[in-house]
Structure 1
Amino acid sequence: MKIISKIAVMIAGVVIFVLFFFIGASITQTTPRLILMATGINDWEYIPKEQSIIYYNDETEMERIGYKRLYSDEFPQFMKDAIVAVEDRRFYQHLGFDAKGIGRALWMNIQTGTKAEGGSTITQQLSRTVFLTQERTYTRKIKEIFIATALEEKFSKDEILNIYLNEIYMGRGSSGMGAAARYYFAKDVMDLNRAQITMLVGIIQAPEFYNPENNFEGVRSRQQTVINILVDDGILSEEEGKKIAVQDLNIIPRESIQTKHPYYMAYLTSILEKDIDNEQLHRGGLKIYTTINSQMQNTAETTVKNHANQIKNRGIDANDIALVSIDPRNGSIRAMVGGVDFSRSQINMAVRPRQPGSAIKPLYYAAAMEHLLIEPDSVVNNKETDFGDYRPVNYSAAAPEEVSIREALVRSHNVASVEILSKLGVNRAVSYLREMNITSIEEDDIHLALGLGGMTKGISPLQLTSAYTIFPNKGQLVKAYTIKRIEDEDGRQLYMHRNQSKNIIRSNTATQMDSLLRNVVDYGTGTAAQIPITSGGKTGTTTDSRDLWYVGYTSELVTSLWVGNTDNRAITGFGVSGGGVAAPIFRDYMNTLYWLNIFEERPSPVLPSEEAHEEEDEIIDIEDETEENEDEIEEAIEDEIEEELEDIEDELYDEFEDIEEEFEDIEDEINNEIEDEENQIDNEIENLVVL
C-alpha cells in the first residue's frame, strides 16, 4: 500500500509539474508587459505598512494590531545567500515562476517523505504575502504566478529580495528580518551571527510551528536542515556548519505585550477576522473606527477592578466580573469588560452565556403585556402552584398569595412570574427572545423553568444588554455593533456600518415596562443601583448564587453587570445576591460617568404629589384670606386716622378761634391803654400851655 501510495503521489507531482510548466512558459515568454498592466503592479510602489490602527469613537487612537515591522535597507549578505539557497536557489535565473524548481522540489519531497524544499519562488511567496492569502487553491496559485511575473517585470532581483526580507512573516507577530532580529534576539539585523541567521531562515517555512517556546527541538532540527543545504551549496564548509550547529542562539523570551482593553480587543479581533481576511488584517495598514467611548471604557475597567477587591474584602468568593454598555438609541457598544485580570483568565465573560436568573423576567413580561395578557396593576396568583412537572417557589415564605404585576416584578416573586410565562406560553416567549437577538436558546430550554432563567447555556451579558435596550428605546431594538467603518492605508472605505433595527414591542408597552423597572430601582430589589438621574433595571440571582446580575438603564445607556466564577463555582459569602453585589457596581460606574458629564440627561425637578398640591392650595387660600384681611385692616386704619385727623383739625380750629378772640381782647385793651395814655398826655400839655 505504501508503494502504491508513493507511486500515486509521484504521478500527481509529475502532472502538476507539467501543468505549471506550460502555464509558466506561456506567461514568461509572451505576456509579461501585458500582465504588468493587467495586475495593476505597474502603478504599485512598495511602502512598508504600519500596523492596523484601532480608534475610539472620537477617532483618537486606542491600539495597534497586526504584524510589527522594522524596515531595513540592507541585510547581511550571508542572510541573502542562505535564503536564496533554501527558498529559491534559481532565484537569479527564473522570471518569477520556476517550473524546474517546482519539479525538483516535488521530486525531493516525494523521495524524502518530507517537505524539505518549497515549490514556490521567492517572488511567488512575496506575491501571496503582499497581495493574496495563504489559502491552498489552484485559483490562488494561478493569480500568484501572474503577480510574480508582473513583479519581475517591474523590479530588479535585488529590489524583490529586499521587499521579501522586509515582508516575510517570521512569527512572534513580526514581519521581516529586521523585526525578527529585534523580537527573537534584541539585535539589529546587521549584528546577527550566522547561527542566528540560519535559525531565522529555517523558521520561514512555518513560523508558528517552529516556535522556540514550544518547539525548540524542532527549531534546531530545521536549522540543521538549512545548514546542510548551505554546506551542499558550498556557502559553508563542513567545519563551519558543525560549529554553527552547536552555537548558542541566545533567544530572548517572548515579550509580554500589555494590550489596552484586552477583553474588548479579543472580541474586536474575533469580529474582524470574520468580516475581513485574517491575513489582510494582520498585514497592517488598516484604520478601524470603533464605537468604544474611552472614558466609559476606562471607567468600566477601573470600577470592575475596585469592586473585585471590595467583594474579596467582604469575604465573597466571586473572582470574575463582566460589564457591557450599549447606547439604546443606535446599538453602539460603548464599553466592554470581560473579566478582572486578563493575565489570570482570558475567558471573555462579556460574550459568554450564563444563567440569567430573574434578569430574564422583564423580557417575557413585556411579551405578555404586548399581547394584552397583563397590565401593570392587574393581579396574578403568587401561591405555590404545580405547573405540570414544574413547581417554582418564592424566596420569601411571607410572599403574598396574590400580587399585582408591578409588585411581582418589583419584588421579583417567582411563582407570579411563572404564572405570567404560563399565560404567555413558553414557545411564544422563546420566539420573542430570539427576536431580541438572543442566539443561545436550546430546544431543552423550552420549558417553564425558563421563567426563572433556567437554561442550558444561558444568555451572555452582551446579548442581555442589547435585549434591554427596547425599554428606553420605545420598543425598538437596534442590533448591537462595535465597528463603525474600516479604511485602508489610502483612505478607501472597506466597510461602513448600517444600523439594523426592528420593533419588538409597541411604544406603549415599553412605557409601561419602563414604569415597572423604575419602581424596581425606587423601592424594589434594585435600590442599591440608584443614581442621580432616572433609571430602571432588574436584578438576577441564580441557584446557589452562581450568577449575580444587574441590568440597568437610562435613556442614554443600558449596562449589564455579571458577577461570578468562570469555572461556575457557587459564590459563598454574606449578602450574596444580584441586588447586593452587582447593583452597587452599576451605581458606582454610572455615578462616575454622571460626574464626568458623559450624560446629557440631568436630574428632573421633583414633581409635587397630590397631597403637596392640596397643601399648596391651602397655602394659596390662606394667602388670599390674608390679603383680604390686610385690605380690610388697611381701610379701617385709614378711616380711623381720617376721623382722628378731622377731630384734631376741629380742636385746633376751636383753639385757634379762642386764641383769636383772646388776641382781639388784648388788642382792645392795648388800644384802650394807649388811648388813655394819649389823653393823659394831651391834658398835661394843655395844662402846661395855660401856665
Structure 2
Amino acid sequence: MPSNSGRRRAGADRSPEPRRKPFWRRALRAIFVWGFALALLGAIFLGSAVYMTARELPTFADLKSSQNGQMIVVRARDGTELVSLGPSYGRWMPYGQIPQVMKDAMVSVEDRRFRQHFGVDPIGMVRSVMVRVETGRWKQGGSTITQQLARTIFLNNNRTFGRKVREGVLALALESKFSKDQILELYLNKVYFGGGAYGIDAASRKFFGHPAAGLSTPEAAIIAGLVKAPSNYSPTADVKAAIARGEVVLGVMAENGVIDPSEAAAIDLSTVKIAKEGNQNSVRYFTDWALPQLDLLLPETSEPLEVWTTLDVGMQQTATSAVKANVPGGAQGALVSMDRDGAVLAMVGGTDYVNSNYNRATNAVRQPGSAWKLFVYLAALEAGYKPDDKVHDEPVTIEGWSPHNSGGTFAGEIDVRSAFAYSKNTVAASLGNEVGFGTVAAMARRFGITTPITTVPSMVLGTSDVRLIDMTRAFAAVSAGGTSIEPYGIVKVETTGGKLLYQHRSTRGQVLVPPHVAAGITDLLQSAVAIGTGRAAQIGRPVAGKTGTTTSNKDGWFLGFSSGITTGVWMGRDDAKAVPGLQGGRAPAQAFAAFMRYAVKNRPVEKFDTELKLPEWQLEPDDEYMMGNPDDYYYVDENGNMIEPGTADGAARTGPASGPPRYEDGSEGPGTAGAPPPAASEDFLDRATGRGNQPDPGLRAAPRPGTAGPASGQRPPTVTRPPTVTRGQAAPVASRPSAAAGAPN
C-alpha cells in the first residue's frame, strides 16, 4: 500500500488544468476573425468587380457622344411636322465653359461631399438611414452625383437592391477611371431636367430661351432643383413648384458658403423670365392619345422615329377655335372628328393644354343625356319599328319611375320620327321598356361603348357615363351604314433613315345592324337637325345628328355626321357643376357647325340613303330646344377665318328665323285653338307613310327568311301605343308587324 508521501509526490507532479476564457471573449474573437475574413473576401470581390467594370467602361469621348432616350417626330397627314418628342440635347458644355454658379448649385443640392468621397459616400448613406429612422420614410437620398451618372448612362430607375449594388460598382469604376471634373462634366451634360431636355444647355434653352453659358444664379438654382423630380418641378408645368424648389437650392448654397446668405435672401426667383413652351397647343391632346399605341404597333426599338398620323392641321386649328369660341365661361370643351374609315382628323381635349393636359375627349366619362337615345331607337328599329310608326307621348310609369317632358306637357299621338326629333322622354322610356333595357345596353356595346352600362329604366335617358370618343365612334358607325368603325391615329411609322416599320391597313368593319335599320336611324337623325333639337348644327348641306343635355345643365353634347365626316362635341365643367344655359342644341351644336363648315368645304355634298321627311307641325323639343337663330354664332368661312355673330356678309341677320314655324305646347296654331297642334295632318301622313304609293325601300322592314315581303302599295301595319306600366305590372308588349308583313326577327 503506497505511503502518503508517495501520493503527495504524484499529485505534485500533475500540472494544473488551464482556466477557460469567458464565452463572450471567445465569441468576440470569432466574430472579429470571421468578420475580417469576410471583409477581406468582400474587398477582394469588390475590387475585382470594380477593376473588371472599369476595364469595360467606354472612353470619355464615347460617353460624350452617347445619347439616352428615343426621339420621335410626329407628322400630320400632309407631312407637316406637328411636334418633336423625346430627348432634346443642347450644345455640349466642356467643364471650363460651364458657369461656376451652375456647378456650385448642382454640387450643393445633390452631393455636397462630391470632392471628398470615392464614388459612394458612406457618410451620406448613414445620414439617409438616420433620417429614415427619425421620420419613418425616405426623405434624403444617399446617391452621389457619380451614382446618379452611372444610373443615367447605364441603368434604369428601378428601386431594387440589385440595381443599387450595380450602381455602386459602376460609380466606383467611374471614379477610378475618370477625374472629378470629367465626372461632373458628364453629369451636367447628360442628366435629365424634364420636358425632354437632357443636359444644362438643353434645359437652359427650353426653360429660359438662351444657352447655358449665360445662366444667372437664380436660373442655375431653378435648373439644379429639377433633378430631384423633373416632372414635378418643371417651370413650364408648375412655376410655383419650380420657384419653391429653387429657393431650397439657394438656401443650401448659402449653407455651403458658395454664395453669401445676404445674396441668397436678395434673389427673387419670381422675377425669372420663363420661356414660353412651343408646340404645347391642342395638337398635344392628339399626340398624347396616339403615341402610346406605338408600344402595340412596333417591335422594341430605340431608333429615332417619324410617325405619320391622320391629323389634319387645318381641321385641328378650326376645331380648337370652334370649341374656344362657343364654350360657356368656366366650362371645358372637347371635340373628336373622324373620317368614314375611323381616321381621327381632329381632337381637342380641353380649352388649354398648358393649363390642363387632361384629355376630356378620350379619358373623361360623363352622362350623355338624350344623345343616348341613339341606342334606344336603334334597338326599336331593329325590333320592327319604322320612322312613320305611331307612338304616344303620354305619362308613363315604369318600375316606379316616371319620366317627364319639358313643361310637363304631352303631345299625344305622334310618329317615331317626331318623337326622336323633339327628344320626347316618355316615348324613349316606353320604347326602351318594350324592347328591353338589356337590349338597349347590348346595342350600345355593339356600337362601341366601353364604359359600364346600367339597365335601370332611367338608362334610356343617358344616365350611364360614356366617353366622347366612344359616342363619336357609334355615330360614325351609323354614318358607315351600320358597320363598325375603329378609330385610329397612326398611318405609318418609319425610321429617320426611311425604313418602314408599320403601315396601317384598313379592314372592312363588321355589320352591326341591317341596312334598313341604319337608314331608319339616319332618317331620325337628320330630322333632329332639320326641325328638332339640333337646328343649330345646320351647315347648308345634309347633316344627321343628335343633341344631349343632362340634368341641371351639367353636360351638353352634339354628335353628328355629314359628307363622310363624323364629329362629336362635349361641353361641361370638370367638377360636374351646373353650367347656366348649357344645352346640347346650343353651344355644342354651334361648335359642331363652326367646325364642320370648314371640315367638309372641299368634299362633295352627299345625300343620305333615305329621304328626309318632316312633320307638318312642330312640337316643343324636350329640355333641349334651341334658343335663338342658328346663324347667330361663330363659324368658319371657306378660308378658315372665324366669323363672329352678326358679321356674315357685312351685316347682322334680321327678321325671323327661316324654316317652318315653331309651336310650344299650349300655343295656338292651325287646327284646334288653345291646344297643341297635331304632329302631322292626315294628308301628310298619307304621303309620308306611302298610302297608295310605294314605301321608301331604304326604310322597308326586311322580310323574315322564307316569307314574302309586303305587296307593292301595301301600308305596313302601325303600332298600337303601349299602356302605362306601373310597379308590379308586367312590361307591355305592343303589337308588332307580323312576319308576313315583312317584320324582321
Give the structure-1-normalised TM-score: 0.66
The 3 A distance-change label for structure 1 pair 197 and 496 is same
> Which digits, 9 at most, give the CA deviation of each residue in 1:315-362, with x for residues without a partner?
xx7854432212232x22211234445677766543433332221111
Q: Cα offset for 1:201?
A: 4.5
Q: Whole-Å Cα distance in 2 between the matches of residues 136 and 601 of structure 1?
A: 60
The 3 A distance-change label for structure 1 pair 25 and 324 is same
- The letter for the 2-side match of 1:118 is G
Give ranges in structure 1 of 5+ residues lacking alignment.
1-16, 612-691
What is the 5 A alignment of 1:294-305?
294-305=313-324
> Where does residue 588 of structure 1 map in the other structure?
594
Q: Whole-Å Cα distance in 2 between the matches of residues 261 and 198 of structure 1?
A: 25
Match of 1:355 among 333, 346, 367: 367
What is the 5 A alignment of 1:144-163?
161-163=184-186
Q: Cα offset for 1:422?
A: 1.0
Match of 1:364 among 363, 376, 379: 376
SS at match of 1:475: coil
Q: Cα offset for 1:161?
A: 4.5
Q: Whole-Å Cα distance in 2 between the matches of residues 255 and 553 of structure 1?
A: 43
Asked if 1:470 corresponds to 2:477, the answer is: yes
Give ranges in structure 2 of 5+ residues lacking alignment.
1-38, 133-137, 614-685, 688-745
Larger Rg computed on CA atoms:
1
Q: Cα offset for 1:543?
A: 3.3
- The letter for the 2-side match of 1:465 is T
> Where does residue 654 of structure 1 map in the other structure?
none
The 3 A distance-change label for structure 1 pair 31 and 219 is closer
Asked if structure 1 preserves the Cα contact closer than 8 Å seen for 2:395 and 2:410, the reply is no
Q: Cα offset for 1:418?
A: 1.3
Asked if 1:248 corresponds to 2:267, the answer is: yes
> Where does residue 15 of structure 2 map in the other structure?
none
Asked if structure 1 preserves the Cα contact closer than 8 Å seen for 2:226 and 2:242, the reply is no
Q: Whole-Å Cα distance in 2 between the matches of residues 272 and 508 of structure 1?
A: 38
Q: Whole-Å Cα distance in 2 between the matches of residues 21 and 489 of structure 1?
A: 48
> Where does residue 30 of structure 1 map in the other structure?
52
Asked if structure 2 preserves the Cα contact closer than 8 Å seen for 1:381 and 1:402, the reply is yes
What is the 5 A alignment of 1:78-93?
78=100, 79=102, 87=111
Asked if structure 2 preserves the Cα contact closer than 8 Å seen for 1:376 and 1:516, the reply is yes
- The letter for the 1-side match of 2:564 is E
- The letter for the 2-side match of 1:168 is V
> Where does residue 710 of structure 2 map in the other structure?
none
> Where does residue 76 of structure 2 map in the other structure?
56
Give the structure-2-normalised TM-score: 0.62
Q: Whole-Å Cα distance in 2 between the matches of residues 76 and 376 of structure 1?
A: 76
Asked if structure 1 preserves the Cα contact closer than 8 Å seen for 2:311 and 2:345, the reply is yes
Q: Cα offset for 1:51?
A: 6.5
Structure 1 stretch displaced more, 554-563 or 522-531: 522-531
> Where does residue 521 of structure 2 map in the other structure?
513
Match of 2:157 among 121, 125, 134: 134
Asked if structure 2 preserves the Cα contact closer than 8 Å seen for 1:359 and 1:539, the reply is yes
Asked if 1:441 corresponds to 2:452, the answer is: yes
Q: Whole-Å Cα distance in 2 between the matches of residues 605 and 391 of structure 1?
A: 36
Task: Report which of the two has the higher share of helix.
Answer: 1
> Where does residue 635 of structure 1 map in the other structure?
none
Match of 2:98 among 51, 76, 100: 76
Asked if structure 1 preserves the Cα contact closer than 8 Å seen for 2:337 and 2:565, the reply is yes
Match of 1:452 among 461, 472, 476: 461
The 3 A distance-change label for structure 1 pair 390 and 252 is same
Q: Whole-Å Cα distance in 2 between the matches of residues 381 and 482 of structure 1?
A: 44
**Aligned residues: CA RMSD:** 4.9
Q: Cα offset for 1:227?
A: 5.7
> Which digits, 9 at most, give the CA deviation of each residue in 1:423-453, with x for residues without a partner?
22212322332343323335xx321111112
> Where does residue 543 of structure 2 map in the other structure?
535
Q: Whole-Å Cα distance in 2 between the matches of residues 168 and 72 of structure 1?
A: 12
> Which digits, 9 at most, give the CA deviation of each residue in 1:374-410, with x for residues without a partner?
3344433432222121112333777543343333323
What is the 5 A alignment of 1:156-305?
161-170=184-193, 174-182=197-205, 188-192=211-215, 200-201=223-224, 204-207=227-230, 213-214=240-241, 216=243, 219-226=246-253, 245=264, 248=267, 252-253=271-272, 255=274, 257=276, 262-266=281-285, 268-269=287-288, 272=291, 287-305=306-324
Q: Whole-Å Cα distance in 2 between the matches of residues 605 and 431 of structure 1?
A: 26
Q: Whole-Å Cα distance in 1 between the matches of residues 277 and 105 of structure 2?
A: 35
Q: Whole-Å Cα distance in 1 between the matches of residues 476 and 349 of structure 2?
A: 20
Q: Whole-Å Cα distance in 2 between the matches of residues 523 and 195 of structure 1?
A: 63
SS at match of 2:472: helix
Q: Whole-Å Cα distance in 2 between the matches of residues 554 and 143 of structure 1?
A: 61
Asked if 1:118 corresponds to 2:142, the answer is: yes
Asked if structure 1 preserves the Cα contact closer than 8 Å seen for 2:99 and 2:213, the reply is no
Asked if structure 2 preserves the Cα contact closer than 8 Å seen for 1:88 and 1:121, the reply is no
Q: Cα offset for 1:76?
A: 3.0
Q: Cα offset for 1:276?
A: 6.0
Match of 2:424 among 413, 419, 442: 413
Structure 1 stretch displaced more, 113-122 or 473-482: 113-122
- The letter for the 2-side match of 1:28 is V
Q: Whole-Å Cα distance in 2 between the matches of residues 498 and 23 of structure 1?
A: 56
